[in-house]
Each structure stands twice: as C-alpha cells, then as structure tokens.
Amino acid sequence: MATVIDRYPTRGTHEVSVPRLDPVVWSAPGTPGPFEPAELRDYDRDGFLTMDRLVDPDEVTVLRTELDRLIADPAVRADERAVVEPKSQEIRSVFEVHKISQVFADLVRDPRVVGRARQILGSDVYVHQSRINVKPGFGASGFYWHSDFETWHAEDGLPGMRTVSVSIALTENHDTNGGLMIMPGSHRTFLGCAGETPEDNYKRSLRMQEAGTPSDEALTDLAAQHGIKLFTGPAGSATWFDCNCMHGSGDNITPFPRSNVFIVFNSVENAAGPPFAAPAPRPAFIGARDFTPVR
C-alpha cells in the first residue's frame, strides 16, 4: 500500500501554520455551471460566496416543516445522529439528514445545489456530511472558531482541501441570533492545532469543541489579517464556504430561532482514508465512508 503523505500536520505538540497547498476552485476557467465566472473568482479570493436566494419561499416551507417533524420525532431524538443541548436538552443537530429524510435527500440532488458543488470541486461529489442545525432562542450555544478541514483531516482522514459546504437558511439569519462568522481569506492558511485527539472525541466535540481549537493568539492574528464577516439573510438564502475557512458562531440569546440545513460535498477524488491524527475514524454518520457520487 502506498504511503499517504500528510501535507497538513495537526494535533501535535505545537500549533503550526502551513500555506494552503491545494486549489480553491478546482474546475478549469470557463467550465459551465450555475455559478458565473465572477462568482467563482470571489469564492476563490474570499473562501465563501453568499446567495440571497437559493431556494424559494414555498420550498423553504417544505424544508422547515420537515425539520420540525424530525426534531419532534422521538425516534430521531433517541438516535445517535441527534445531538442534544446539554442545558436545555433540546435537539441541537441531526446528522445524516439526507439518509433519514426524502425531503433533504431531494435537496442534496437538486442541480442548484449539487451542480454548484461539482463546479467548485471540478469532479463528481459525494456527501461527506449533512445535518440540520437548530438554534432555538434563549440560550442555544454557538460553535467556537475552527476550520472544518482541520477536523475532517485529523479525525476523518480527508487528505486534501477539496471539500465545500453550503449552509441554507431555513429561518431568517439576523445579526443577533447566532449567525455564521467567517474570516475572509483565512482559507489560504492551514492552522494545525496543538494537542492529541482523545478517543471517541466526537462524543464531546459535537456538543463543545475542545480538540482542534486554535489558540487565542492564532485567532487574534488571523482576525487582524482578514477581519470577520457576519452572515445575515432571509430564509432561503445560502452561504457556500471552503473547508479551510476559519469560522464559528455565537450563542443565540434572542427570542428568534435560527435553523439551517448544512451539506458538505467532497470530491470523489479526495475520498477519506485513515485519520491523520486520531485513534480511529469518526462514525460514518459524521464522516461518510460511502463515496458513491450524488446522482
């Protein structure tokens, strides 16, 4: 078996900073697709792209109804794919929604969605992860600053940065209800975090991330270089963002809920292997081991 070179070391004794070694947009210039060339140039520069409307209001209603059905279903709550808020005991996330819901399976296959992922990644794609995030009002906790790729590389075994996420708003995202924050341009630098990955780390990290958390000093430097962009928008809007963007979100202490569906597409040419910095891969409902292309 050929040795896989780790180009993005992390979870060692010291925090390290490595320049990105992979493209951001993988398709050749002029490749046809839903994105306009100028949009792809913006995505390449910033590491993200926002859309005021990816799905229309009637479709949002269908998606919201399905989200509400899932989080109210006792069988879903009892499933290991559901993550519950430690304090309120309300559902915070439900993973692998494209496998437990036909509505979300159809969304994944929608050309407006998967077509854009293929255009960015320059290949067929599969779903590395899907989930619904529910941030009810009055205290839903946020997600601390992190790079998804750092975790997916360390714990899922993704070898390179050929992965894109889309977050589709199912409720209005205000500037006060725990919206997504990204440091524009941070996708050009890989931050390898210090500290070993505990066994079964996912059981803690899905509620409160500790392993794979950047230092305050590194975050201060990145924010000074790149600034912070807060994403707001109506239900039906979407944010596409690169796997290596430094991002996070705050608590929602407002009365206004914030719910999103989150889909991660990975290139079939970047399939997960053994984890680079963890005792064992995370369960497949968090980091897929089925690399079948979306059709």
| Cα(248)–Cα(243) distance, integer angstroms | 13
Q: Which of 21-25, 85-89, 171-175 comes out lowest in average pLDDT?
A: 85-89
Q: Residue 102: its pLDDT value, please?
A: 98
Q: Residue 229: its pLDDT value, please?
A: 97
Stated length of the chain: 295
| Cα(258)–Cα(170) distance, integer angstroms | 8
For residue 281, which amino acid is it?
P
Q: Residue 126: its pLDDT value, please?
A: 98
| Residue 32 φ/ψ, nearest 5 degrees | -65, 150
Q: At what angle do helices 102-109 and 57-72 cross, to 10 degrees?
A: 140
Strands (E) located in 148-257: 163-169, 180-182, 189-192, 229-230, 238-242, 246-249
pLDDT at residue 209 tops 60 = no
Q: Residue 204: its pLDDT value, please?
A: 63
How high does pLDDT run on average in the chain? 94
Q: Which two tokens stand for residue 103?
A: 């509505």
Q: Residue 205: its pLDDT value, please?
A: 58
Maximum Cα–Cα distance for the chain, whole Å? 55
Average pLDDT score over residue span 150-168: 98
Q: 11 pLDDT band (50/70/90 cuts)?
A: very high
pLDDT digits (tens, 9 = 90+) for 30-72: 899 999 999 999 999 999 999 999 999 999 999 999 999 999 9
Q: Residue 212: its pLDDT value, please?
A: 87
Question: Three-state DSSP class for 155?
Answer: helix
Determine contact, residues 246/186, Cβ cutoff 8 Å.
yes
Q: Report which of residues 140 and 146 the model is more confident about.
A: 146
End-to-end CA distance of the chain: 30
How remote is the C-alpha of 88 from its chain's centroid?
24
Q: Residue 200: its pLDDT value, please?
A: 77
Average pLDDT score over residue span 236-260: 94
Helix (H) or strand (E) run with residue 91 in it: strand 91-95
Q: Residue 173 forms beta bridges with which residues?
A: 233
Nearest partner of 121 among 166, 54, 183, judged by Cα: 166
pLDDT at residue 84 tops 60 = yes
Q: Residue 206: its pLDDT value, please?
A: 59
pLDDT at residue 232 tops 80 = yes
Nearest partner of 148 among 264, 82, 243, judged by Cα: 243
Query: 6-25: b or e for each residue (b if 16 or more CB lie within 10 Å)?
Result: eebebbeeeeeeeebebebb
Determine contact, residues 234/169, Cβ cutoff 8 Å.
yes
Nearest partner of 90 among 252, 247, 210, judged by Cα: 252
pLDDT digits (tens, 9 = 90+) for 85-132: 777 778 889 999 999 999 999 999 999 999 999 999 999 999 999 999
pLDDT digits (tens, 9 = 90+) for 184-203: 999 999 999 999 998 877 76
Query: Could you give the residue ranges of the DSSP H alpha helices within 177-254?
Result: 202-205, 216-226
Q: Residue 211: its pLDDT value, please?
A: 77
